[in-house]
Amino acid sequence: MPEDYEPPPEIETTMKCPVCGRNLFLIYFTTTIPYEGRIVINTYVCHNCMYKNPQVYSEGQERKEKITLKITEPDDLGVLVYRSPKASIMIPELDAEILPGDDSRGDLTTVEGILLTIYDRLDLFMGDPENETKISAIRNRLSNVKESAIGLTIIIQDDSGLSRINSPKSVSEFF
């Protein structure tokens, strides 16, 4: 860090911590990063229980984008993926998707990380007898992700146009 760097100030708010009920502090920071452009980072912090809620917003111009990557070899599992807070990830061959929630912060992960996230969250759907066969099939396919991922397609649908798949094999379409 440069010697003249000063951390952003903390502002005490009247918002209450959802964990312990004390006042939250807001740290507000703006910066410029590659691909995203200018971003705003708001972080709410509780000094009592260490609760933290970071939120990142882009000040850039939004345009919808679809990014597709076909997994053709084991090396594709290590491809870096940035999913912006407004983006969905779909894997049609598994009939699986990761949708952004209201508090979505986006993700920086790899293709393998996306597949493992889906695998880890399958338990959330196991109570529904209608889905158990489908979930078991997905679990079996992803149980050895390095071998079973070949042939899968990762699709990112992003209303902000800020997501990236860091591979020359990825195909982007703007609309």
pTM here? 0.66
Spatial CA neighbour of 111 closest among 138, 142, 65: 142
- Average pLDDT score, the chain: 87
Q: How far apart are CA 63 and CA 129, in angstroms?
A: 40
Mean pLDDT of 91-118: 90
Q: In this predicted model, what pLDDT tens digit does every residue of 28-45 receive, in sequence order?
A: 888 887 766 778 888 999
Collect all residues with Cβ–Cβ distance below 8 Å to 108 and sequence separation of at least 6: 80, 81, 82, 83
More confident residue, 8 or 73: 73
Residue 141: pLDDT above 60?
yes
With H, G, I as helix, E, B as strand and everything else as coil, classify residue 175. coil
What is the per-residue pLDDT for 2? 66
What is the per-residue pLDDT for 138? 87
Distances (CA, A) of 57 to 52, 62, 153: 16, 12, 28
Residue 58: pLDDT above 80?
no
**Rounded percentage of the chain residues whose pLDDT exceeds 90:** 46
Beginning with the edge strand found earlier in the chain, give each strand of the sheet holding 52-58 in spatial order. Answer: 10-16, 23-33, 37-45, 52-58
The alpha-helical segments, DSSP class H, found in 32-110 are none
Distances (CA, A) of 43 to 34, 36, 68: 21, 18, 32
Q: How many CB atoms lie within 10 A of CB 140?
A: 10
Structural domains of the chain ordered from first start: 10-58 (2.20.25.420), 65-174 (2.60.120.1040)
